[in-house]
Structure 1
Amino acid sequence: MALLPRLRTPMGQVILVGAVCFCCPGMFSALTGMGGGGQVDPHAANRALTALYAAFAIFGLLGGGFNNILGPRITVLVGSVFYALYVASFLRYNHSHDERLVVLAGGLLGFGAGLLWAGQGSILMSYPPERDKGLYISIFWSVFNMGGVVGGLIPFFLNFSRDRSSSHSVNDTTYIAFIVVMLCGSILSLKLVQPDQVAREDGTQVISALHTDVATECWEILKLFRDPRMLAFVPACIASNFFYTYQFNNVNGLLFDVRTRGLNNVVYWSAQMLGSVLAGRLLDKSSPSSRSRAHLGILLVAAASTLIWAAAFVNQTNYSRHRLPHGVPLDFTDGFQFLGPFVLYSCFGLLDAMFQTLCYWVMGEMSGEVQTLSRYGGFYKGLQSAGAAVAWQLDASEMALMPQLCLNWILMSLSFPLLWIMVRDFKDERHHRKEDEEHLFLLDSSSTNSED
C-alpha cells in the first residue's frame, strides 16, 4: 500500500518514466545501435528511420502541446505502443523483405516518439527540486540506458553461437524479445500521474498547466522560434541525435560482426550511464552559481567532444564503406585489433550522455513551469529529430564517411559557444529559482480558489 505514494513523488515519477524508456526507446536504441536495425543491408532501416525522424520532427515539436492538453500518462502511453509495432515490422521483414511496412511503421513511430518524449521531458525538467536537477537527470539517463545495456545483451547471447563470418541478420527470437519488453513499457506508463498529484519533499508542488487549449499551445510553440535563447539552442538540438547514424551504421555496423555489435552496445549504453552521472553531479555540485556551473559543464563537454571526435577522425582514415581495415568485420576475440575501435565506440556513448544531460539541465534552468518546459522539450526533440532525419537520409544516399564525421564534429563544436550565450542570463543563486516556483504556486492556488 505504501508503494503508490512513493510513486507519486518526483523521484518515483522520474524512475517510472525512466523504466518506460528502458523498455521502449532503450530497446529501440539497442536495435538501432546494431546498424541497419539488425539487418545486414541497412537500406530498409535507413528509409524507415528517415520516415521516423521526419514525423518525429513534426510531432516532437507539437508534443509539448499534446502533453499540456492530455497530461503525461496518456501522452506517454499512446506514444509507447508504436515501439513494439516498429520492431514487429522488422520481424516480418526477415521473411518478406518488403520495405513498405517497415517504412510505414517508422513513420508511425515518429508520431509516437514525439508524444512519449514530450511527456518524458516535462517530467524530467519540471518535477525535480532545483538543487538536484542534475541528479534526477542522471538517474533517468541511467535507468533509460540500462535498456540499451539489456538490449545489447539480447542479440549478443541469441546470436552468440553463429559463425563470426555469418552474414545473416539477427534471428526472429531477437525481435520477439524486443517486442515483449516494449509492451511491458506501455503497461508501466499507466502508473504515471498528473503533475498536480506530485508533491516534492520540501513541500512545494509541481505547477501544472492552467486552462491550456489547442490554439494557445500552437501560438506558444510558434513563439519559441522568436526567442533568441531557443534560436541559439538550434545547433545543439540538431547535433544531439545527428551523430547516431555515423556511430551506429558506420562504426558499429561496418567494423564489427553481428554478435560483437551487441556486446559493443552493452558497453556503449553503460558508458552513457557513467557520462550522465558525471555531468549531472558537476552541474549540481560544482558551484552555488547556476551560471558558473553551466560554464564549467560546457567547457568540460566541449573538451571531451574535441578529443573523441579527433580520435574518430584518425580511426576513419583506416577504412571506407567498401574497404575494411582487416578485410572482414572485427570480432571481440580479435584482441588488440578490436580494442581501439571498441574504446572509441564506448567513448561515443560517454559523450552522448554528457552532451544531452547538459542540454536538459540548461532547459530545466530556464523555467520552473511544467507547461513551458514541456514546450522546450518538444522544441528540443522536434529539431533533434529533423537533424536525425537528414543524417539517416545522407547515409541512405551513401555519403562518404569522412564528410559525415566532419559534419558531426562541426555541428557539435558550433553548439558550445551558442550554449554559452544561452546561459549568460542565468541568475547567480539557486534561491531565485525557488522564489519563482513559490510565486507560480501562489498564482496557481489563487486561480483555483477564485474558481471555487
Structure 2
Amino acid sequence: MTDTTEEIVLGEVIPSTDMEAYRSTVPLWQRVWRHSLTQMMLLSVQAFCGPAMSDAIAGLGGGGLATPTVSNISTAIRYALLAITCGLGGPIVNKIGVKWALVIGSLSFPIQGSAYYCNSKFGNQWYLILSGAIGGVGTGCWYVAEAGAIMTLAPSRSRGKYLALWIVSRNLGQLVGGAINLSKNHVKGVSGGVTPDTYIAFLIIEALALPFAFLILPFERVVRSDGTRIVTSETLSTKHEIQRIVKTMTSKLVLLSALWAMWSFFYSGSWSTYLAIHFTVRARALSSLISPFFCIVGCFGLGFILDMKSLNQRRRAQLGLYTVVILNVAVYIWSIVMQAKFNRHDPGHIDWDSGVYPSSFLPYFFVQTTGPLSQSYMYWLLSSFATNAQDNVRNGAAFRCIEAVGQAIAYGMNSQTQADPLVGFCVTFGLLGAALIPMILLVNTTPDQIPADVIDGELDVADKKLEGTSIEPPVDSKGGRR
C-alpha cells in the first residue's frame, strides 16, 4: 500500500500517488516503460511510420502519379472501409485490447507503399486499389486504438502538450518523406510521377511501426507523470459493447461534433489534387519537405493554450476553439482566392524558381498547420468528457468513423472534379461554417474537470474511508491495477 495526496488546481481535486514509494519499489527500466510519456512516444513513432508516411505520399500530389485519378479512387475506397471499421472499432478494440489493435494496424501500413511502388514500376493499378481496401480495415483498427490512447495517456494538465507531440510526429513523417522525395526528384523539367525508388524508402519506414506496437502496455499498467491513475471499466460482452457504441454514436457529444469531425480532414483530398495539377514534381517534393515546419510551432502553441493553469477547462476549450476557427478561416479565404485566380489564368506547372511559387504554395504551407490543429483540438475536447479509458476508445472510434466518411467523400469528389480544386475548397469552407454553431454549443457545456478525474478522486476517498490513510497503488507487483 502507498499513501496518496490530493493536488488542488483551480478547484479541481486530482488524486496523486506517492511516487517516491513507487520509485523505490519498481526497477528503473519498468518505470520508464510504464511512464505515460514513454507510451505516448511509442505511439507517436508508430504514427510517424504509418499515417505520416501515408500523408507524405499524398503530399506528392496524387500519390506522385502522372494523374491523381487512380490515387483518389484508391484513397476513397480506403476511407470508406476505414469508416466502417471505425464504426465497429470500439467493441473490437475494447475486446482485443489497444496493443493488439495497434499490431493489426501496423501490419497493414507497408501495403500502401508497396502498392504505389508496383504502380510506379509496373503500372499495376488493381493492386493500388486493393491496397486501399486492405489498408482501410487495418488502419481503421489502428486509428481507433490510437484515438483512445492519445485521449487517455496524458495527465489532465498536460493533454495539450501530449497531443502536440503526437501531431508533430505525424508531420515529421511528412518532413522525412519530403526529404526522401526531394533527394530523388530534384532535377528540373522532370514530369509525371516520382521515381519508383522513392516508394522503397517509404515502404521500409512503414514496416518499422510493427515492433513499436508490441511495446504498448494496457492502460491499467501505465503510470502518469503526475501520479494520477487511468480509470478503466470492466470488460463488457460483445452485445453490451455494441449497445454502448450505438449509444455513443447517438450521444450529444458525437452529434454536435459530427460536422467538425467530417470537416477536420476534408481538406486533404483537395490539396492533394491542387499539388498534382499546378506543381512540378520537384516543387511538390519541396512542398512536402518544408510544409510541416510551422506545424511544430502551431501545435505546441495550441497545447500551451489548452494547458493554461490560469483558466478552467471550459474557458480553455472556448479559447482553443476560437483560435482554431480564426486561423482556418484565414487560410480558406486565401486558398479560394488563389484557385479562382488560377481558373482565370492557368499558370501551368509551377516550379520552385517561378515567381508565383511563394504565393501559390503558402496556403498549402499554412493548411498543413491549421488542419492538424483542428484534429488535435477535437481530441482534447473529446477527452474532456470521458468517464474512463473505454469511453475514450468509443468516442475516438465514433470521431474516426465520421472523419473517415468525410475523407472518403472528399477523395471521391476530387476524383470527379480533379480539374478544379476550387470545388473542394468551397465545400470544405462551407463545412467549417456549418460545423461552427454545433461546436460552440458543445464547447459551452465542457465540464470544468474531466469526469474520469472526478471518479478517480471519489474512489480514493472511498478507499481512505475503508483503509484509514492508505489506498491501493496504481500498479501491483505484476504491473496491473488492483
- TM interval, short-chain normalised: over 0.9
2:461 pairs with 1:435: no
Q: Say yes or no: does 1:59 pair with 2:59.
A: no
> Per the alignment, do residues 433 and 426 of structure 1 end up closer, same or farther by CA in structure 2, a change over 3 Å counting?
farther
Residue of 367, 390, 395 corresponding to 1:348: 367
Q: 1:268 to 1:209 in 2, by over 3 A?
A: farther
1:14-93 alignment, distance < 5 Å = 14-93=40-119
CA distance in 1, matches of 2:336, 2:320: 24
Cα distance in 2 between the residues matched to 1:181 and 1:245:
23
Consecutive unaligned residues of structure 2, counting only runs of 5 or more, are: 1-26, 464-470, 477-481
1:279 maps to 2:279: no
SS in 1 for 2:358: helix
1:314 matched to which residue of 2? 337
Q: 1:185 to 1:122 in 2, by over 3 A?
A: same
Instruction: Map Cα deviations across residues 351-380 of structure 1 (whole Å, 9 max, x no partner).
Output: 112111110110010114110000111111
3-state SS in 2 of match to 1:167: coil
Structure 1 residue 286: deviation in Å? 6.6
* Structure in which a larger fraction of residues adopt helix: 1
TM-score after normalising by structure 1: 0.92
**Is 1:194 the counterpart of 2:215 in the alignment?**
no
Q: Which amino acid aligns with 2:434?
A: L
Distance in 2 (CA, whole Å) between partners of 1:106 and 1:302 is: 31
Correspondence 1:12-411 to 2 at 5 A: 12-160=38-186, 162=187, 164-250=188-274, 252-285=275-308, 287-320=310-343, 325-327=346-348, 329-334=349-354, 336-398=355-417, 400-411=420-431
Give the distance between the partners of 2:154 and 2:50, measured in 1 at CA. 23
Q: Choose 230-239 or 256-265, whichever is displaced more.
A: 256-265
Cα offset for 1:89?
1.1
Q: Distance in 1 between matches of 2:158 and 2:63?
A: 36
Cα-Cα RMSD:
2.3
Displacement of 1:3 in angstroms is: 4.2
Larger Rg: 2
Aligned mate of 2:433, from 407, 413, 422: 413
Cα offset for 1:432?
A: 6.7
- Aligned pair in 2 of structure 1 residues 426, 170: CA closer, same or farther (>3 Å)? same
Question: What's the offset of the Cα at 1:28?
Answer: 0.8
Q: CA deviation at 1:148?
A: 1.2
Letter in 2 for 1:309: Y
State the Cα distance separating 1:324 from its structure 2 match. Answer: 6.6
- Tell whether the 8 Å contact from 1:9 to 1:198 is kept in structure 2 after alignment: yes
Distance 2:66 2:301 in 1: 35
Question: Is residue 182–residue 289 contact of structure 2 (8 Å, CA) maintained in 1?
Answer: no
SS in 2 for 1:319: helix
Identity %: 22
1:115 and 1:401 map into 2 onto residues whose CA distance is 31
What's the CA shift string for 1:3-30, capped at 9, x where partnerless?
A: 4431311111111100011011111110
Asked if structure 2 preserves the Cα contact closer than 8 Å seen for 1:234 and 1:383, the reply is: yes
CA distance in 1, matches of 2:380, 2:190: 44
Deviates most, 78-87 or 283-292: 283-292
Per-residue deviation, 1:414: 2.2
Q: What secondary structure is seen at the aligned counterpart in 2 of 1:332?
A: coil
Offset, 1:188: 1.4
Q: Residue type matched to 2:370 in 1?
A: L
Change (3 A) 1:432 1:212: closer
What letter corresponds to residue 353 of structure 2 in structure 1?
T
